[in-house]
Structure 1
Amino acid sequence: DAKYLRFETFHNPEVAPGQKQGWYPWPYVEGLSLAEATNDLAFMATGVYGKPLAKQFGAPLRLAVPWKYGFKSIKSIVRISFVKERPVGLWEAIQSKEYGFWANVNPGVPHPRWSQSSERVLGTSERRNTLMFNGYGEQVAELYKDMKGEALYM
């Protein structure tokens, strides 16, 4: 009956002192629909540049979802669950109006505090228009074709 994957990070405040902060609902949780998770562009990273993934890059496992906001690419995954109900991620739990489950698939819908319509090219002052699905529309638009209204953007 599963429709989603739920990803969970490690939770050890003795090793990661930032996890002692009470305003975040640790452990970090994120989720994808099964259709998103099985798309050819979504993958799990165990290493980079021919070496095992370092802790600061998200060891032991890191999810990569290039057409979505970076917060969807959860790091330091220790548990993956197949679930029937849509998981509520950490950012959605603390700020659902800004970081919903379907956040940032459409740059034409502004974030409540800033526009997502343009982006700065890293290492430069150049700005360019943000592409739908971060430029991967041809590969992922089909995942969202049946969505109507705000569900696509929230």
Structure 2
Amino acid sequence: MAQGLARSESRWNLLAQQVLMMDLDLGNAPGAREPIFSMDTWGGYPAARERLLGHIADQRVRNLVVLTGDAHQHFAGNLRRKDGPVLGAEFLTTSATSGGDGAGALPGNDIILSRNPDLKLLEDRRGYSICTLTPQSWTTDMIAFDQVTDRRSPRTTNHRFVVEHGVPGIVAS
């Protein structure tokens, strides 16, 4: 995979995979000091994560966007190695129907966001994402349903994130 990305001449380099790649401290208790990492994400396997991101950094992979699934929340944020520069953006899209209607902001989400400066969105809503690519930008619209249990319930573009060509990570939301 790393060699393929290194040889890529594509404008946008997409890594599609199933678990969150961002290194997130998921501790949501007020005043918690020790970080909490999920063993169901790349954060639970720091050596493997650092190895992959090291290849990406060493090969100077440009315009990297990671699309992820397998969670019941929307996440959006910048992707980087420990204490390194931003290498790309990651968008994790929630499922459309699993887990009921979703709650919006879960208790403790504000703490998780404050502990993770690269995290731009953490939201418990049901929906999907639409990605629009041009030579100049990658735009990800996070679409959410008010209620998946009511087929007449409206859907809304809840959040929009932009990655610009040549600028690693999210530049606008």
TM-score range, shorter chain: under 0.3
Which has a greater percent of helix? Answer: 1
Which has a greater percent of strand? Answer: 2
TM-score, normalized by length of structure 2?
A: 0.24
TM-score, normalized by length of structure 1?
A: 0.26
